[in-house]
Every structure is written in structure tokens, then in C-alpha cells.
A and B are shown apart, each in its own frame.
Chain A
Amino acid sequence: MKQINIILMLVSIILGLQLGYSQETFPRNDVLDNREDAFAFIHATIITDPETKLENATLIIKNGKIENVGPGIPIPKGYTTIDLKGKYIYPSFIDLNTNYGIPEQERQRRGGGFGAAEQIQSATRGAYNANEAIKAQYNASEEFAIDSKSAGAMRKNGFGTVLTYKSDGISRGTSALVTLGEESVNGSLLMNQAAAHYSLTKGSSQQNYPGSMMGFIALLRQTYLDAEWFSSQSPRPFADQTLEAWINSQKLPQVFDAGNWLNVLRADKIGDEFGVKYIITSGGDDYQRINDIKSTKSSLIVPVNFPDAYDVDDPIDAEKVSYADMKHWELAPTNPGVLEKNGIIFSITSAGAGDDFLTNIRTAIHYGLSENAALKALTTVPAMLLNAQNSVGKIKSGMVANFLITSDEIFKDKMIIHENWVQGKPYKLKPLNTHDYSGVYSLNIGGTVYQLEISGEPGSQKSKVILDDSTSIDAKSKFDNDLLTLGIKLQKDAKEEIRLSGWKTANGWKGTGQEVNGDWVNWEASRDGDVKANDKGKRGDKEAKENTDLVGNTIFPFVAFGRKELPKQENILIKNATVWTNEADGILTNTDVLLKDGKIAQIGKSINADGTLTIDGSGKHLTSGIIDEHTHIGGGGNDRATNSSMVRIGDQLNSEQISIYRTLAGGVTAAQVLHGSANPVGGQSALIKLRWGESPENLKIKGADEFIKFALGENVKRSSSNQSIRYPQSRMGVEQVYMDGFSNALEYEKAWKNYNTLNATTKATAIKPRRDLVDEAMLEIINGKRFITCHSYVQSEINMLMELAESFNFRVNTFTHILEGYKVADKMKEHGAAASTFSDWWNYKWEVRYAIPYNAAILQREGVLTAINSDDANMGRRLNQEAAKTIKYGNISEEDAWKMVTLNPAKMLHLDKQMGSVKVGKDADVVLWTDHPLSVYARAEKTIIDGKIYFDIIEDQKLRDEMRMERARIIQKMKDSKKKGGKMQRPNSESHFDFHCDDDYDLGNFINQKN
């Protein structure tokens, strides 16, 4: 107790002394005690910046600043001289990605769990933004406090300066650049409002909107537009301190916390739209799509939080670790090196790396990062990115005295950081002069002589008593400033030990001790010589160098069944197949089809084409690729605003979903990825081809018409929730949502027309209308530039929407699901709406009690353009079987049945000019089937898109083998890592949630089930 008090006193004295200096406006509780803290470090090797190394140089600092640096410079009087012969001085590191000293945002527990009453408005107090996730008003310096524990941990890793912000919200306000000194908040703060921060996570906001990645993006885009409109007006139209802060922070460096490469690309795209070049914090997975990352031309902040190896001892448990996670474990350390090779400007953050930070940097260096680039990424690059290159990041006169004293070159394995100086104050980590006591000693205890060996690295030396060549007993030893405490068992099996306390002498040790029986005894140890060199390797770091040079390839996409290289376009001749043309020719037997330059080039008998890949199609069926009018694979999802016409599935496409490959293997070549059905106006859909391995942007069908998802019925009126308060709660309200949306859109159009027709002088003073992404999308619908696919079930609502559309002079393009379409087929025909339906779903909720599997047949007979769709990752794999159900239920002809999953959806999506049939000139999107394609026994053998074979049943087997072997190789490597004492994590599986229209229901079930 007494001891603790003394320590506390000492600590407060030290802190008191430090606080006493510099801030003269602060009250004092002592006499004035100003010291200049002037030091001269001499004989050091000083790395002033990554390009400059000064041998035997001097560094002079005073009052927290660097005064001078160089070899042979004079030391002024009044400076404490510290001799650093053999030591190195480096500028300390800068981390641009921390929450240092910022309290974590409390998250309010949402009452009632999933399906609770929605929070429609922002809950932030004060005159702030309409959306709680836009927190531009936040200023880190207002909350920043010194946190010794975190500061200590980061100083240990070599950091002296950090950028700190609050990880909360989509717009996160501004950060502060602070040092890791512990004197005072005011002293540590180098730069207030150092940068503005953004992310693609919602944070603590419980507001209903946004609720998806596309919503986060839409909200950011709208906020840029709102801010522009707001700032153009004086006086402002209303008070919004968030927008004011947003406007003011635009001139700062803009930092975007992306977290993975998909988000890096998304962030960059937002930046491009609004003329912002973000500094983007990546997830350390950039190597997976390095070309796309490179083409963003963004500077990155990159973590080195390489994953721990999985404990894969048990083969069954090991199966839980995905191929992607295994490969990422191996390849993550290559990421910094890959970035360097590609000329990307990046800084490194220690976030997530903890105590492994320096080890991980060394690992990254081992895997290709140059030491020079590593040092830059930790010093000059972050300083430059923040425009702070004149105060931190180098050892240069006038700059902040933030530097490290190390035992060796900074990235050497056994390098020790002795001291981390922050603003001219030393934070001592390991003594500068650690004594080396190693050696073999004759230990004389009260006349009996033993052999004592002290060995190991200075600072952490151990000792043992040698009995003979093969036997030794470890002794407990503690070295403390030339004082030694020893506990020794003098016989192999002894339980008790003799306790010795001693002090250093010229040639060993001397002291006193207490024997097992309590008798006091004097002892002495004299050094006889060096410890014999020991070849036994030390337990390895996380990586042992010898077998780590071989790493696997990155794959596209970076999941199971990804390929090392993307398929190449080939000229392909399929011979002697039964060809389902979907054209007037009908089904042609023994026919050849030539694919050339990504198009269908020729259909006929006995085609000869030299130099093409020839595939024998005898006994097989060739069709155009299946087109799924309605899926959510590859990035579907729901936002939850009543009208979310502004959200775009295209913003959140995810090329890395295994469902794309599985669907491709079911003969699907193109699909419409739709928004969910939680709201009357969902979001803008994305038309994609299943180009497995391509980036999200390359999945999109270029030049395709724009579509939007609408939804009616139980989902949009939140029937699955008893607590929902969101408008609408009835089909009556649904109609009004549309009336409102389209009426507003017309007003919006009028406002802009009025503005645009003003003469130049009036325009100069007129208020420009606010660009509204919701109205814009709604207006596109009225103006025939965007087409509706509407989730629908019962006849009343179908008729409502058709009549409403007609009253606004447009037509509903497609009703999807449309399970009661058969009741209003004539009206649909008259309106000109198409129908994309399930083959046989019914009775899973109230509104589908009258769904019948004959729906498609009746619609088709009535002349409505009819398709069969999947809605999910599961059914999307066998739409050929679903099409066959129209034969069983309704006796549709085979050709017509087949068109329901090919030509008809192509027409609905306005893509029939380029796909949907086997016709010369159309895209080479074809499938070779092992059997009659409508048969339950048929399997897609090859799925070809743009003349590239994206799925091949034989190659699929090869990919499986490749994966198995690659997994086995990595598993052995992980086992090695375990053997060497590397950190481990338990095998874990992580899977994507597969979206479909009723995901609310599933999600709710899932979340409830969890409890």
C-alpha cells in the first residue's frame, strides 16, 4: 500500500513538472518552474527522412521543437548531451486512422428488436441535419482527451503523431492531428479540423433511412447536392449547422474510411461525381483488385492487420474456413508491397495490428515492400497527405521534436525502440544501455561451487545452473540495474530453492542469501567465459522466413471458384447440336453455331471455321442464355425509406458472391438485380451479365435501359411487423405514395423549367432549385427514361398501379411476381404491361392464397409478355426447370416455355436486340445443355457470355481440384505457423446473407432465432 502511494506520488510529481511548463494561462499550484528541455543527441545515426541518412550526427532540440540536425554541428551551452553512439534516430511514425482519445459513441439499444417502430426523423438535438448519419458538425478536438493507455501502446509501436476522428456516421465531421504526448490536451493538439471524414457505415444512427450500402451512397450524394444548394443562398433557407460545417470542411483533406476494395471503388466513384479526391482507408485487400484500385488514382491509408492463422488441426473444423479467408491469410502480407509496385501512394495505419504492428511491417517487407516505402508510408506520406509536412514526419529544424531512438535500423528483426520522444519529451521504453551479463560463472555458495550460465538477449536474460553436460536446472533470475535476484534449486528434484540477492562486481557478482533452512549465507560468482553458441532456433515470429516465399495467386473473384485469369474471348464453333433459336426457325437439329468476336456469327449446317475452338454438340442442346428478370444475387438489398427511388443497386453490386457462379452454372447469362420490396418505391436496378470474375462495373450491361423496382402489398405496408409506424400501412396509402411521388416530380420538373428559362440577369439573382435525387428518378419514369418492375400480388393493387400510371401518361413496364395476374390478364394486355412470375409459389403469406401455377399460362394465352423469374440465389440455378412447370401446369408449348426464361425476359428488359435468342448478330450468350433444356435431367455444360466460356462443367472439376490442393497447401503452412508459436484463431465460417423479396421476413426470423 505504502509502495503504491509512493509510486503515485512520483507519477504526479513527474506529470506536475511537465504540466508546469509552457501553458502560462493555466493556473499553477507551485512556484514557477519553466525549463527549456534542451537536449543534444550526439554520435547517432540519424535518418532525417526516408532518403537521408546522417552518420555520427547530432540532433538538437529545445522546447519540443527540433533546432538543428547534422553531422559536426556545435552544441550550444545549456543543453543536456546524450551520447547515442551506435544508436539510430528516426522520425516517429504518423497514423492517420485512429480514434485516439475520442470516446466511443454510445449506441442506443433499439427497443423491440427487429420489426420495431421505425425512427423516421433524426434524433439529434439541435439544429442539425435531417439525417442523423450526417454528422459533419462533429469536431474531434472538442472531445479529445489524453488516453495514457492507448498513447503508450501506440508509442511502443513507434508512433508519435496521430490523426484522430470519431468512427460514427456516414459523414463523420472533422478530425484532429495530435501527438501522443501526455502533457496536456492543448499541447498535444497540433491541428484542429485536420481533415473531414466519411464512411459507408451508418454508425449509431437509428434512423430508418438509409439502411443499405446503396442508401449510404445515395445519402452522401444528396448531401453534396444539398450543401451546394444551401451554400448558394444568402441568407440560408433554414438553419442547418451540419450543412454549414460540411461546407466549411470541404477545403480540408477528405478522408474516406472504405474498409475493403469494393468500398474503395465506390468511394472513388462518389468522389468523381462531386470533384473530390478522397484519401481512402482501405481494408488491406487491395491486392485482390489492384488494377481497379490503381485506376482510382487515390491515395490510400492501408492497414497491416494481417489475419492470424486458423487452427486447422481438425480437418472437419477446418472446412469452416473459406477458401477466400485462407488465401487472404496468405496474401494479406503482400498487400503493401503490391501497392508499392503499382505506384500507389499510401500511408500505413496500425489499426487492428496491435502489438504485432512492427512484426507485421517486417512481414510486409519480407513479402515485397521496400524498407524505404515502409518508412515513407509511416512518416512523410501521411504528413504530406494531411498538409502537415512542415511540422511532422521528418527530422528537420523547426519541426516538432517527434523521434525515435532505436538500437538498429528501424525494420531490422531485433531492433529495439529505446525511447520515443514526443514534442521533446522522452517516453522511455527500453533502457539505452542494457547490460549484457551473459557468460559462464563459477557460483560459490558458502563454499560449494556450481556452474551458472546467464544467456539471452540483453534486457531479457535468463540463467540456469549446469549440473553436467546433459542436465541443467533453470534458475529464476531478475536483473535490475546491476542488482540480481536468483532463486535456485540445487538438485534436480528439489522442491525448495535457495534465494540469493547480489550486486555486480568487476568480474561477476557478490551477495548474500538465505538457504532452504533459513540460514543466511554469502555467495559469489566469478565470470569464467562466454556462453557456448547455441544453434537451436528461437521460436519463430508469426512467419518463419524459409518457406514463406511461395504464395498463391490472387484469384478473380476472390472467393471459391475464382480463377487466376479471366476467361478470354474466343471464336467458338459448336457442331451438330440441337439449337433452340427462339426465332422463326424454331428448334434446329444437327446444327452448327459459330461465335465470333463475342457475337453469334453464323448458324447452319457444316460450318467450317479454321482456328476456332470447336465443341462437339452432338446429342446436346444449344440455347441462348437464360435471363432472370428478377434476382437479388450480386448485390441486391433493401433500403427502407417509403420512397427510395434514389438508391441504386448498381452502387452496391458485389462481384465476389458465389451465387453468381452457381447461377451461371444453371445456364443463366444475364439478370436484373433488384431492390427488395420493403417500400412502395424501391430502388434503381442493375442489369448485369454474369461475367464471373469481372469487377462490379464490368458486370453491368453497358447502354441498357434504366429500371426501377416498385412494390405493392403486404411487404410495403409492413404486414410482418406489428409495431411498424412507417407510411403506408394500407393499400390505400400505397396509392397515395405514388400520387405524391409523381405529383412532386412534375412540380420539380416545372420548377427547373422555370429556372432554366429565366434570362441571364434574373437567373443570376434567382434561387436555383434544389436537385433532388428522389424527384429526378420519379420524373424519369414519367418521361419514359426509366421503367418500372413492380412486385405485386393481388388484382386490386395491380389495377390501381396501371390506372395511376395511365393518369400520369406512362405505362408500367413489368409486374413481377404478379401472382394474381391471371385475374387481370386482359387489363394488363391492354395496358401493355409484361408479367414476370414465379412458376408455382403460393400460400406463404395471405396475399398469395389465390396464386396458381397456371398464372404464366393464362397470361401468355391472353397475350401478355410473360416470363418466369427466380427472386433468389437458389431458384436462379434451375430456371430451366421452372420454365418446364408451365408445361406441366397449363400445357404451354416447349418453345414458348423456353422463351419464358430467355427471349421474353430479354424483351421486358429491352435487351432483345442483343440477347434472348440464337440469332446472327446477337451477343454470343449461349448455353450448351447435356439434355433437353426443359428436362429435370439437363445440366448446363458450358455457359458462354460474349464468346467467353464463363462456366464449363469440366473446368469446374478442375477448379475444385485446384481449390482442394491450394487449401491443403495453405493448411500445411498454417500448421507450420502454429508449430512456430504464431497466433491462431478458431476456424470460423462467415457467409453472405442471400437476399430475396421477403428478406425482411427471413431476416426477422434469423435474428429472433439467434436469441
Chain B
Amino acid sequence: MLLSTCSYIPLEIPLSLGIPAKRLFLQGIASGAESYVPRDFCPYAKGVLGYVSGSAVRGEPISLALAGSCDAMRRVADLVRLYWRGVKAYYVDVPRTSNDYAVDYYASVLREFSCELACEACDDNSNTLPETIRMMNRLRRQLGGLFREARDSSQEKPWTRAIDCLLSAGEFLGSGAQGVAGEQVLYLEETGSGGKGSPGAGNVAGEEVPCSEEAGFQRVWRPSVIVTGSMCLDRTLTSTIEEVGFRIGALDSCLGERSINFQIDENDPDCFHALAEGYLRKPPCPRMLDYGRRMAYLDEMLRGTDPSMDDGPGGLIYFVPKFCDHGYYDYVEVKRHLAGSSTPMLLLEGEFGVGNSAQVRTRLAAFREMLEMRRARVFCPPLGDVTGRTVRSRL
């Protein structure tokens, strides 16, 4: 199986050669990485090394497709190559710009990547690549549909469920059943089955949450938020955001819409050019140096979700994995970009399992209370002297 560490690496190439492949999303940092990298490496970089180390211990045959996503991942690529010689590591040189010249260069890189994989697999993908591109386009459309559905859903945790579907689709691709991956997603959508390896997954149209006042529940106000950042590490963040009572309007992360909101041109006679163009011009990640495109995409998300529509003023939640340079810088740019608007912004940073942190939950709850106060303009007139007696506790 080939695991990709960057959503700019087209899975179409290994899949068309019959190599099971998926994007490597992790749930934590397995031990074994600490002694190889400095303490100020991001959790994903450490997690990838931990995963590789664990697979080597278990004797699982894996290949990795690594990109120079950041300085840390560049070093992770070096470490994997030098310390885990049993793991086949491919370095895919993903440009940081997306103009025509960059697309041409990336097409040549992908052609070479494909040759290397074909050599390894003793196969040829000249006939199967167009077909795989069509399959992946279809899969992206279907997953995109699920995320759109989540946006309008009033059900319980629709976005966390959509992420589970995305992870499940990855599991199918990684299991070698790529030919039916699209059908599997449809199956998820129709039956609400989570599929294997997706904890608590159901479909987006999951069980109805009782919210009528007759049922003893007050209808809760759910401000809409856009979640963005360099990378949402795992599903705990969206899960907690939804639990705290937000309605997610867009999830701009590779574990989210950034991996699915694009299509590859099926009519381009040069498949590698089509892949290079499609991937480089997909919704931009902060690692790219096309900053204008990033802000334009953000504006588009804000317009698309219309946070002021029905649920009152919304906001933007920015998540940065600890020690992620791209995220920290991008956060300030986004903040500056939104300075003129009335969109409030919350910065969260953390490691895997960030949603389970009490501090993060407090910040989210406070952010929600802040939006609620703004909506209701709740305040009380001053009362002057408030003092009373202080009693010594018997404790």
C-alpha cells in the first residue's frame, strides 16, 4: 500500500497501476518518533515517523509518497529514507506556485513518479489512468455532495460524519478496492453504514437529534462557523466544535473540503498535465505561496456560507497544529484580511486529540458565548457596590 502525506500528490497514479493508496491521516503519535526529530516538530510530522516506525516493527510492507510540504516534512522524508530502508519512500516535488510553468514542471515530476511506481509494480498505466481519473472525479463529487449536505443538515454532528465518510473512502482506496470506492460512498450515503475503520461513522443523514420543545429540549441557537487552518489533525476538533453548538459552514482542511472540492480535466489528452493542473489549482493550502488565491478562496467560503443568514453572526475558527509554521503565519494573514469585516475569529492550536482538551473546549464555549452575547446584546447596567462578606471555608 502507498501512503501519501500530502493532498497535492495525486492518488490516481498509484491506483491506476493497481497499487492500493490513500492519504495518511493519523489518530495520534505512535512511540518511536521522539528520538529522531526535535521537540518543535509538528504533530503530523512526528506522527508520520511514529507510523513508519510502528509498521516496521509489525513487519507491514508500506510505501510512502512524501512531499516537501514544509521544512519538517522535508526532514521526515530524509529520516524515512535513511532509517527505515525497508520502507520505499518516494519524494514528490510539489511546486509551491500554480502558474502554467509550475504546472508544466509538476507534470514532468508526476510522469517520473508514475514511471518509478510502474517499474516497482511491473505494470503500465497508459490505459488505466484516464479511467482512474474519472473514478476519482466521481468519488470527489460524491464526497463533495456529502459535505454540502452536512452544511445544511440540522442533524447531530453532520461534519464529523462527513469526515468519517472521507476517511472510509480512503480506507476503501487503501484496501485495493478502488474500483468500487465511489459505489461504497454512495452506499454509505444511502444506508448510513459507517464502513470499517470509521469509529462511530454513519452517513450525514444520521439519526435525528430531538430538538423540539415538546420533546423537552429547547431549540438551541447554533452560530455558523468556517473552520480553516493548515491541517485539522483528526476528527476530534470538528466533533467538539459541533458538540459545543456550532454549525460548521465550511471545513477548509485536507481532512475536509480541500481534498475534494476540485475536478481533473477528463478531456485533456495529457493525463499528467491534467493531474498537475487540477491538483496545483485545487483549493489552496497555506503551504502554497499563492497567497492571493488563498484569501480569494476564503472570501468565497465566507460568501458561500453566509454566516449572517439565519443563525445570526457567525465566525471563523482557525486551527494550527502546534509548531506548524505555515499555520501560524497564515493565521495572522487571515486575521489581517478579515480585519475590516465583522467576522470574529478564534485561534486554536494543539496536537492530536485536540478536541478532547479541556482548554480547547473552554475556548470554543467562550467563543460561542461571545457570539451569543453579540447576537442578544446581553449586558447589565452597573450596580456600583457589589461587596458582601467573605466567609472562611471549613475546607
Q: Do A and B bind each other?
A: no
Binding site for B on A (CB under 8 A): none
